[in-house]
Structures are given as C-alpha cells and as structure tokens.
Amino acid sequence: MDTPENEHFRDTLGTMTEEGKRAWVYPKKPSGKLYQYRKYVSYILLAFLFAAPFVKINGNQFLLFNVLERRFNLLGFPFWPQDFYLFVIMMLIGVVFIIFFTAAFGRIFCGWICPQTIFMEMVFRRIEYWIDGDRGAQIRLAKQKWDAEKIRKRVLKWIIFFVISFLIANIFLAYFIGSDRLIQYVFEGPLDHVSTLISLFIFTGVFYFIFAWFREQVCIIACPYGRLQGVLLDNKSIVVAYDHKRGEKEVGRAKFKKNEDREASGKGDCIDCFQCVNVCPTGIDIRNGTQLECVNCTACIDECDTIMEAVNLPKGLIRYASEENIEKKEPFKFTPRLKGYTAVLVILIGVLSGLLFLRSDVEASILRLPGQLYEHKDGNIISNVFTYKLLNKTTKNIEDIHFKLKSPKGKIHTVKQGELTVPAQDLAEGTLFIEINNAALSGDKNRAVIEVYSGEDLIETTSVTFLGPRSYK
C-alpha cells in the first residue's frame, strides 16, 4: 500500500539526494538465519573462485578464458576457436536459464551468487564493520573531522581494500593467461613482464574503485540484469516481498506500544521501525514493493523477523513470496511460461550434450590448394593437391598420424617424410596428394572421404571435393 508521503520513490533513487548528489548508504550489519546461509554459500563460492584456476584435470586448467590466444578450458575440457559453436550454445543455455530463474524466483542470483554481491557484502563490508563499526558508528565517522582517529581508520581500510583488490586481480588474471604462466611471471619478476603488470594494476584499480566507492551503484546503474528483471517478473514470481495486507490492515502502519491490542485497533503488524530500510545494502524501503534496486539479499527478512519476535508478532511480514501469494494466498505454480522455458532449456542442454559427446580430440581440416585444378597422370590417374591442418585438443602428443582414402578407391601421399606427430594442444600442417583412377570418378566434382589414423586407431573422418575431367556422357 503506497501512502502519499512515499509515492515519490518511483521517481527517485534511494542512493541519490534531491540535489542529484550521491547519498552514501550505511547499512546496518545484518544477522539472522538467512544471513548465515548466505555466508556459507558465499564462502564456498569464494573458495571455488580462488581455487579453480589452480586445479587441473588431465593437465588442463579447470577454468581458463585466454581470449588473446583463443584457448578456453571448461571443467578441464579444452576448447578452441573451432569449437565456437559450442560456446554459442552454452551462452544460449545461460541466457535461457537466467530468464527461467528470474521469471520463477526474481533476482535471487544477485543476492546469493553474484560475485559483486559476495565480495561487497561478505568481504569488503565485513572489513568495514570491523574497522569503522556498525551503521551508527560509520555515520558518525563520516561526519567527524579529519582527526588522528579518522585518518588512521581510513588509511587502514584503504590499504586493506587495495591489497584485497590486488589479490582478486591476480586471481582473475590467472583465469585469462593461465595459473602456470602467472606463477612463472611472479618468479621471473614483474619488471620482465611490464605489459602484464600494467594489466594487473588496471584490474586492481577497477576492483578498488568498485568496492571502495562505486559499490551498490553497480547493481543499480551498471548491471543490465536489474533492468532485465523488470520485463521478466510477473505477479506469480517469487521475490523478497512485504506482506502489505498484513502489515497495513485497515489503519496502516503504527509505532509499537506496549500492552496495546493491535488486532482490535486495526493497526497493521508493521511497527514502522525502519530497520528493514537501515539494513538494506542498496538503501531502499522494501515496503514500497518490488523495486529495481532490490537484489534479494534477504537482509530485510532477517531483520524484520527479529523485530517481530521482539514484539511478539508472527514472523514472515517480509518473506519470499509472490504478489498472488500475498493478495490471494495462492501457492507457487509451475506456469505455462515456465514450462516453455524448461522445454527450451532441456532441448538446448540435450543438443550441447550430443555435440560434446561427438566432439573429437583431433580436428582435421583438409582444403584444396588455392589456384590448383587437377593433374592427369599415367595410367588414367587423376591427382589433386590439398593442404591439411590437424588440431590436437588434448594434452598428449598424437603420434604415427597417417591418412587413408575411404572412398572412392585411391591413394594418398603426404609431402612430409617420416612419422607425422601432432604436439599436445598444437597444430600440425602440411600438403598431401590424392590420386584416383578416372574410371572411379563420376564427373568433374566428386566427394572423397578421408580417414585420419593414429597408429591403428581412427581418430577423425572428413571429406573433400575431388576435381576430375568433366564427363560429356
């Protein structure tokens, strides 16, 4: 229920004053059951984030996104530019999953899983509480003159923030250039790798700027996901919601009075204590309804439950609920829209699984040498010249490579003498000749199927267009 004095919230940001200046948010230190759960989830995700670049499977880094060298590892499986179609499908799966999850559960990803929220609330904000104190102490310190105490606290906090930002930057760099190379650069000395050092300080500066100053503005201004949820949510979506039916009732909100019968007076269960506002990390009043700034962090739920328990009123005034659940007591339903998203998601995952299953460790690319047609040899033999490229996606050398012509019958000769080997995670290329009897050809363009073997093992099959004399039959 919107009252006249708070209707202006739709046209303003909680982190901006009427003069258009930044209104700094000093959230109260959260506590409660859901906050404890969030801490467990956050610490697990932080451990994963810091460990993933240093974990290896079959010699491959668990996660690697080397854009410059176009090398990628996902869950220990190496991917190359030739596998770009797999990334496209993975991105589509990610987009559909986000749409599905948001339509069902709102912005819960932001409050529980997003790295920005985890670092801000579970790392930097907790350090700030340790140094500056809780909400009231932080407000007093901000207004305090620059005396010895304020300088000491500010410098200590800024140094710690910079060190943590530098550490995070190193971890992110390990994802982009590889942990082995990062460790190598550290031992060789940063001055031997100035370009990498510059990149490292740029990352550090960005992280420091975000967590020391920009903070919740990332979620409100920069992140597109907050705006995306506006078109994905409906009255059936589960979000962090204020039960205005119970909180307002007939009379509306009112301060708590001891020994008062609120039921008889018609006053709502909301005692207008503003603790849900004080604890919010984005500075909003959840009682105004679902808002762009809300990241579903559940701090207001814990705080409201604590207050309700203190005044002997039922918990759950603020809770995970849909608009329909509050208005009509309707339980959560798996709507046709969610079923449609699920069907698309299952299909995409099935396609990706099939493509991953069919994906070979060696990819062969055989192309006709530009500008060459065919050569007529003795014995009615037609010869074509091709170039080949063999990409080894594994961490082991593939040895004793040779080619066989599956159809039509003929011979393949490689220019390279001796045993052909493709190094681990590398490329081998060369030239080969295919010779086929003209009697086996059916025209000027023929499909020739080539098999690639490593010893006795067939590792890849590909096809080329073989040119021959035009038939005038």
pLDDT tens per residue across span 345-395: 999 999 999 988 888 878 888 998 888 888 999 989 999 999 999 988 877
Domain count, the chain: 2
Same domain, 42 and 143: yes
The widest CA-to-CA distance across the chain, in whole angstroms, is 112
Q: What is the predicted pLDDT for the residue at 6? A: 53
Residue 2 has pLDDT above 50, yes or no: no
For the cut 80, the answer to whether the pLDDT of residue 417 exceeds it is no
Residue 268 structure tokens: 């709502």
Whether the predicted pLDDT of 107 surpasses 90: no
Residue 146 and residue 231 share a domain: yes
Burial track 195-205 (b if 16+ CB lie within 10 A, e otherwise): ebeebbeebbe
User: Quick one: pLDDT band at residue 12, thresholds 50, 70, 90?
Assistant: low
Residue 85: inside a domain: no
Distance, in Å, from the CA atom of 385 to the CA atom of 70, rounded to the nearest integer, reads 30
d(CA 419, CA 65) in angstroms, rounded, equals 33
pLDDT (mean) for 267-273: 93
Average pLDDT over every residue of 405-419? 85
When pLDDT is cut at 50, 70 and 90, the band that residue 293 belongs to is confident
Which of 270, 304, 328 is the C-terminal boundary of a domain? 328
Distances (CA, A) of 246 to 4, 241, 277: 19, 12, 18
Residue type, 380: N
Are the beta carbons of 308 and 275 closer than 8 angstroms? no
Q: What is the pTM of this model?
A: 0.83
Note whether 320 and 234 are same-domain residues: yes
| Shared domain check, 112 and 33 | yes
pLDDT at 5 over 70: no
Residue 419 belongs to domain with CATH number: 2.60.40.10
Average pLDDT, the chain: 89
Q: How many CB atoms lie within 10 A of CB 296?
A: 23
Range of the domain at 421: 362-467
**pLDDT of 460 strictly over 60:** yes
- Of residues 439, 448, 436, the one with CA closest to residue 382: 436
Q: Are residues 320 and 366 in the same domain?
A: no
Q: What per-residue confidence (pLDDT) applies to 9?
A: 57
Closest CA to 111 of 299, 251, 373: 299
Q: How confident is the model at residue 133 (pLDDT cuts 50, 70, 90)?
A: very high
What does the chain come to in residues? 473
Q: Are residues 283 and 416 in the same domain?
A: no
Residue 123 has pLDDT above 60, yes or no: yes
Q: Does a structural domain hold residue 88?
A: no
Q: For residues 93 and 67, which has the higher predicted lDDT (pLDDT)?
A: 93
Task: Count CB neighbours of 190 within 10 A.
Answer: 13
Do 302 and 230 lie in one domain? The reply is: yes
- Residue 71 lies inside a defined structural domain of this protein: no
- Which helix H or strand E contains 398, and what residues bound it? strand 398-407
**Overall average pLDDT of the 38-52 stretch:** 96
Q: Mean pLDDT over residues 420-427, rounded?
A: 86
Q: Is residue 427 part of a domain?
A: yes
Q: Same domain for 301 and 379?
A: no
Q: 3-state DSSP helix/strand/coil percent for the chain, to nearest 5?
A: 50, 20, 30
Count of Cβ atoms closer than 10 Å to residue 458 Cβ = 12
Tell me, yes or no, whether 81 lies in a domain.
no
Question: What is the pLDDT, as a whole number, of residue 8?
Answer: 57
Q: Is residue 333 part of a domain?
A: no
The per-residue pLDDT for 7 is: 56
Q: Do 202 and 264 lie in a common domain?
A: yes
Give the pLDDT band (50/70/90) at residue 4: very low
Name, of 124-128, 353-357, 380-384, 469-473, the range with top average pLDDT.
124-128
Quick one: 240 and 130 in the same domain? Answer: yes
Residues 171-201 pLDDT 10s: 999 999 999 999 999 999 888 889 999 999 9
Q: How far apart are CA 360 and CA 338, in angstroms?
A: 35
Q: What pLDDT shows up at residue 11?
A: 63
**Tokens encoding 146:** 């620059």
Write out the two tokens for 164: 């943590």
Is the residue at 139 inside a domain? yes
Residue 11 to residues 8, 155, 288, 293: CA-CA distances in angstroms?
6, 37, 12, 13
**In 144-193, alpha helices (H):** 148-177, 179-188
Residue 358 has what pLDDT?
Answer: 82
**Structure letter (DSSP) for residue 418:** S
Residue 153 lies in a domain: yes
Among the three residues 284, 306, 328, which one is the final residue of a domain in this structure? 328
371 and 305 within one domain: no
Position 231 pLDDT exceeds 90? no
Same domain, 273 and 382: no
pLDDT of residue 301: 97
DSSP 192-247: G-HHHHHHHHHHHHHHHHIIIIITTHIIIII-THHHHHHHH--TTS-EEEE-HHHH
**Higher-pLDDT residue of 79, 38:** 38
